[in-house]
Chain A
Amino acid sequence: MPSSEIVDTDMKDHSYVTIIKPKKGWQVVDVKELFRYRDLLLFFVYRDIKVLYKQTVLGFAWALINPVFNMLVFNFIGKMGRLAPGNIPYLPFLYVGLIPWTYFSNSVNMSSQSLISSSQILTKVYFPRLVIPLTSVISKLVDFAISFTVLIVLFIVYHNQLSINLNICFLPLLIILMIIAAAGMGLWFSAMAIQYRDIKYAITFLTQILFFLTPIMYPISKFDSFSPVFKFIYSLYPMAGIEEGFRACLLGIGPMPWDLLLIGTASSIIIFVTGAFYFARMEKVFADVA
């Protein structure tokens, strides 16, 4: 199998030599080149954030409306279906579950579509294509950050039933894991979606199913009576550990689910790395099939 065949060598006298040849088979992501284009990533993210809520009346409030209304509706459904855990007020429980889920589903959705919506640029200028789906994953962090404001309000309202605990120190780790999981899926889906537009429809459907499989409306302990095989397969889904982790961090429900998180981290990294390889393999045809 030939190795990467677009070779950019930084020579000592600052001149580059580029060799263009047909690329066959698996490719390695050119991390050095990606780093050279870091300013582009920065400006793409800036653009996305800047135009996100342009010409809307409510502006950034939209970042709150989605999780808040979901919380209220699920509060109703969850209580009807007796999904709520007994030991904690249900509204903050739901909201803390919705914060990472909203980020995850939105950024997977947006990054999957990102190459298609940038096809105009893809056919006109070269830059590492990886920048495009990564932009979506990063710019969705803005909504994610904004959604924490409601959490503060919930903390004030429920201050005598909730307490902040030391697990909150692990929150950054969980956020990094969440980004890697979303980026991995985004790489896979975006590279597929540009050739197979089915992905767009499949993702709507997939996120819906994943929503019910993710412990958002219910605690993961609902699966306690399931077989160990099921539980292992389930723990491969990174959002399982992330959801439980967020609750352990922010609400202090139980200890950090290290077992789930360890398996989830492993599977996220595998999805991310294989996604990057798949992306690099497909990259050469993007301009032709866009």
Chain B
Amino acid sequence: MSNLAVSVENISKKYRIGAKEAKSETFVEAMMKLVKAPVTNFRKLQNLSNFSKDDEMDVIWALKDVSFDVKLGESIAIIGNNGAGKSTLLKILSKITDPTAGSVVIKGKISSLLEVGTGFHPDLTGRENVYLNGTILGMKKTEIDRKFDEIVEFSGVSKFIETQVKRYSSGMRVRLAFAVAAFLEPDILIIDEVLAVGDLDFQRKCIGKMDEVAKSGRTVLFVSHNMAAVRNLCQRGVMLVNGMVNYVGDINDAVNLYEKNLNTSELVNPNLFPLLARGDYAIQMNSLRSRVINSSAGASLYVEFELEAKENFSILGVCFFIRTTDGQLITKLLFKMADLYIKDFNGKKSFVLVSENINHYLAAGEYFYSVHIDIPRAAQLIKADNLAKFIVPGYDAYGFGTFFESSKHGIVPVPIKLDEV
């Protein structure tokens, strides 16, 4: 492996998901369960890290036989839907968690950025946090001493460097955190979507820095949902589907495949997504799909989902979000605003969210949508975030034969006319 920086071989990772407990039917049974509770609890806690052969029921393979190579100096993107195993893969590569099987050989010094500002302490000053965060990321004190001025200058918060970080705005905090990370000098850099932070100006600066890192001959592994950034920064892509490698190869092919996959706009096997049973609530989303139906009046969006519950829910709230493909929030409809409630739910039922004539309100183009199911004011049960896209067809909003398109004209065709006063 002379020219390989990273070689991943048959990596698998098992996790345990909470299996539902058997309910006791009699008082005696309930008492017995209470007495046995310490033993069962101990087994359960022990099983968090131990996997015996006989209980494959509540085990999930977050990754299964993942193999690929990264050449020296190459930038590679890891793409896939939420829950495809991208983050788990990065955690294994950055030694945070152990694989269940397989091996990885890494040649060179590796740094990973799964989050910016890890370990920032609000009571410490900006200067102190630069040192703290830098050493957490694996830098030596002397190294930070040397780069300190550059880091502060890049962050643009030099005026406040002696101020406690808790007095910072969230934007300032993120900028300082990214600045520390930007001055890491590993041979291999692992990055997980840290770009989606800060204002537009700073984002541009970050992408510029990343580009610089990638072009300086370092090896970069990059996870993102931002396909434009991925295409721009990486030469090759690894596409993960349900914890398995679906495609490895040229970045454009990988992105096309990923987008094609999104356009079918249906979850292949939603039960593998971690958006299901949260905590003690036994409810899951079996499917989620969208359709856009054209008529002479306009195009309407239909989002259908099927819910299945093992217990009764007296009330559920549905939230619906629309985002642009680069992640900008357009619409956030909460159940209490738009009266999106499901009452007395149990068993299995399908629902449909209808947005009539959506192309009168939104420019033609592609959008992501999210559906959340909550217990109002109590808990979030299901988060199906940006899993699928829908396409709004063109609409002649102003009646002069021009389609209003998101790529050319913006997102919202607001009403307008010109009068003399």
Contact = CB atoms under 8 A, between A and B. Distances in A.
Contacts of A18: 95, 104-106, 110
A55 B123 CA distance: 9
B148 to A, nearest CB: 14
A124 B100 contact: no
Contacts of B108: 15-16
A20 B15 contact: no
Contact of A19 (B46, B94, B105, B131): B105
B105 A287 contact: no
Interface in A4-47: 6, 15-23, 37, 39-40, 42-44, 46-47
A43 B70 CA distance: 34
B256 interface: no
A126 B48 contact: no
B317 interface: no
Q: Most chain-A Cβ atoms within 10 A of its Cβ — which of B98, B104, B108, B118?
A: B98
A20 B92 contact: yes
Interface stretch (B78-86, B134-142, B211-219, B241-249): B134-142
A126 B95 contact: yes
A50 B49 CA distance: 36
Interface residues of B, number: 45
B45 A196 contact: yes
**Closest CB pairs A-B (n = 10):** A285-B49, A284-B98, A126-B95, A20-B104, A40-B135, A18-B106, A39-B141, A287-B97, A51-B123, A21-B103
Contacts, number: 117
Given A43-B131, A50-B128, A125 B105 contact: no
Given A15-B107, A15-B108, A42-B141, A22 B98 contact: yes
Contacts of B34: none
Contacts of B140: 39
Nearest to B11: A20
A288 B97 contact: yes
A20 B66 CA distance: 14
10 contacts: A15-B108, A19-B105, A43-B131, A46-B128, A121-B119, A125-B94, A125-B136, A126-B96, A284-B97, A288-B97
A223 interface: no
Contacts of B107: 15-17
Interface string A35-69: 00101101110110011001100000000000000
A44 B133 CA distance: 10
A21 B124 contact: no
Contacts of B94: 125-126
B75 interface: no
Nearest to A121: B119
B365 interface: no
A17 B106 contact: yes
A195 interface: yes
A170 interface: no
A125 B112 contact: yes
A195 B102 CA distance: 25
B63 to A, nearest CB: 12
A15 B187 contact: yes
B115 interface: yes
Given A17-B105, A22-B101, A287 B96 contact: yes
A289 B132 contact: no
Interface residues of A, number: 37
B121 A20 contact: no
A127 interface: yes
A40 B144 CA distance: 12
Interface string A189-228: 0000001100000000000000000000000000000000
B98 A285 contact: yes
B91 interface: yes
Given A22-B99, A22-B101, A50-B124, A124 B93 contact: no
Interface string A257-290: 0000000000000000000000000001101110
A171 to B, nearest CB: 31
Interface in A111-130: 120-127
Nearest to A283: B98
A117 to B, nearest CB: 12
A195 B128 contact: no
A121 B136 contact: yes
A275 B42 CA distance: 21
B334 interface: no
B124 A123 contact: no
A143 B332 CA distance: 51
Given A51-B123, A121-B118, A287-B91, A21 B99 contact: yes
A37 B187 CA distance: 18
B121 A47 contact: yes
Q: Most chain-B Cβ atoms within 10 A of its Cβ — which of A40, A55, A196?
A: A40
Contacts of B97: 284, 287-288
A124 B114 contact: yes
A56 B100 CA distance: 47
B101 to A, nearest CB: 6
A60 to B, nearest CB: 15
B109 interface: yes
Contacts of B42: 196
A263 to B, nearest CB: 33
Given A42-B135, A123-B96, 13 more contacts: A15-B107, A15-B109, A16-B107, A16-B108, A18-B104, A42-B141, A47-B132, A121-B136, A123-B91, A124-B115, A126-B94, A287-B91, A287-B97
